Amino acid sequence: MSKVTVVGAGNVGATCANVLAVNEVADQIVLIDIKQGFSEGKAMDIMQTAQLMGFDSVVTGVTNDYAATAGSDVVVVTSGLPRKPGMTREELIGVNAGIVKSVVESALKYSPDAKFVIVSNPMDPMAYLTVKSLGLPRNRVIGMGGALDSSRLKYFLSQAIGCNANEVEGLVIGGHGDTTMIPLTRLATYKGIPVSNFLSAEKLEEVAKATMVGGATLTGLLGTSAWMAPGAATSYLVESIIKDQKKMIVCGTFLEGEYGMNDILIGVPVIIGKDGIEKVIELDLNDDEKAKLAASEAAVRKTNSILHDMNLI
């Protein structure tokens, strides 16, 4: 019996739980929230679609009762305040750090072997906090951001080319932030053919810029953070763990020498299987991409320093 816990029954958490259920990723999905009755209502709403959608996964909701999460294979952490228009992910660090640390500690009491997928913003520092403050091995702590950012890149590429998004491949590495992510358009392909065969350098630059502000664009349109793609990206990542799919996904990963970095968690392509992060893939970056990754590293380290200054690590 496979079991996934989703902490936080807001838009992203509930969407993730719904996609997990509809795709029958896990036998049991527990949705937990601190707001009385909130997760119970979301779980009931999802389960009332079971006959309509034809799935057999069971979704239950509980209010702040971590005993119900016992034996989870994966714990998804979406808790914390969402972004509001004009707010950066980094501005959330003070509030969300305490929430994320408390959530992971509570979940570990009942699921000591779980893999943790961190979604709460700012995502890379929150995942870094989880590794550093709780001493978890790096394979068990995964930042979701790269999966979402890469999906957004593929969307913008498919729109520019005028093709099916499922036939486009592309990676976004670096920090999960509007100015720190690096869309690798040079390496993107359409049916195995470089996208540069279909799009001009100027158009590819437009695609890269649209990808980088993809989250901020939606926040401006919606008045709050997006949730459909983030929830689906999280489910996609969890499925590769639960089903041991060995997919290559860009994830926030604690690096131990790869890409010349240590003591930092940042987005790079990795192989995701039953043990979480099973292998780090080192790309052959050109000088421009290396420079951008170095700048992203510096920005992420600056945000991480706030955690140290707050004595959270």
Within 10 angstroms of residue 117's Cβ, the number of other Cβ atoms is: 30
220 is in an annotated binding site: no
286 is in an annotated binding site: no
C-alpha angle 294-99-137 in degrees, rounded to nearest 5: 55
6 is in an annotated binding site: no
Distance, in Å, from the CA atom of 178 to the CA atom of 210, rounded to the nearest integer, reads 10
Three-state DSSP state, 92: helix
8 is in an annotated binding site: yes
287 is in an annotated binding site: no
12 is in an annotated binding site: yes
260 is in an annotated binding site: no
For residue 209, give every residue at least 6 positions away whose Cβ sits within 8 Å of its Cβ, in sequence order, or none. Answer: none
Nearest to 80 by CA among 135, 42, 34: 34
Task: Confirm if 16 and 7 have CB atoms less than 8 A apart.
Answer: no
Q: Which residues pair with 266 in a beta bridge?
A: 253
C-alpha angle 126-131-135 in degrees, rounded to nearest 5: 145
95 is in an annotated binding site: no
Q: Which residues pair with 273 in a beta bridge?
A: 276
For residue 157, give every residue at least 6 positions away whose Cβ sits within 8 Å of its Cβ, in sequence order, or none. Answer: 165, 168, 170, 185, 188, 190, 195, 199, 207
13 is in an annotated binding site: yes
70 is in an annotated binding site: no
Catalytic residues: 176
- Residues making up the annotated binding site for substrate are 83, 89, 121, 152
Query: Binding site membership for NAD(+): which residues?
Result: 8-13, 33, 96, 119-121
Q: Which residues are annotated as a binding site?
A: 8-13, 33, 83, 89, 96, 119-121, 152
